[in-house]
Amino acid sequence: MRHDRWPKRTRGFTLIELMTIVVIVGILAAIAIPSYTQYIQRANRNEAQQTLLEAAAFLQRCFTQNNDYRCALPAGFAQTPAAPAAAKYNIAISAGGGVGSTTYTLTATRAGTMSGDECGDLTLTHTGVRGAVNNTRDAAECWRR
């Protein structure tokens, strides 16, 4: 009985087939990773915008009760998300005018993985004006996305 060391039809992939797969996966990764990164940044930006709008609603209630915007934001508004280690934005308020303050500006300052976001730091004023500072994109576009 004779056993062939190499059967006539071997199974498996050739080096060319394997390299073709590696190239295809590389091209897909080159397209997918930047898109995913932009998606994550957009989601984090939306979360910061939501937090700014909630803080603005809190300040409006404060003004209704005290006729003054100088109220401390609750602890939940300090960062988004609330866990300090995972903070993407730090939320701050600057109430202008001293006693009887009738203006404020809320700012969401980038932190952690969002520090490279091209939309910069998001702002919201007492009149509802939405803006961005330290940004390379249009503020209206950043708030829209």
The whole-number average pLDDT for the span 132-145 is 86
pLDDT of amino acid 109: 92
pLDDT band at 71 (very low <50, low <70, confident <90, very high): confident
* CA 72 centroid distance within chain: 24
Confidence of residue 123 (pLDDT cuts 50, 70, 90): very high
Closest of 132, 135, 143 to residue 105, by C-alpha: 132
- How many residues are there in the chain? 145
Residues 24, 118, 115, 86, CA torsion sign: negative
pLDDT digits (tens, 9 = 90+) for 29-49: 999 999 999 999 999 999 999
Q: Between these two residues, 50 and 1, which has the higher pLDDT value?
A: 50
Whether 104 has a pLDDT exceeding 70, the answer reads yes
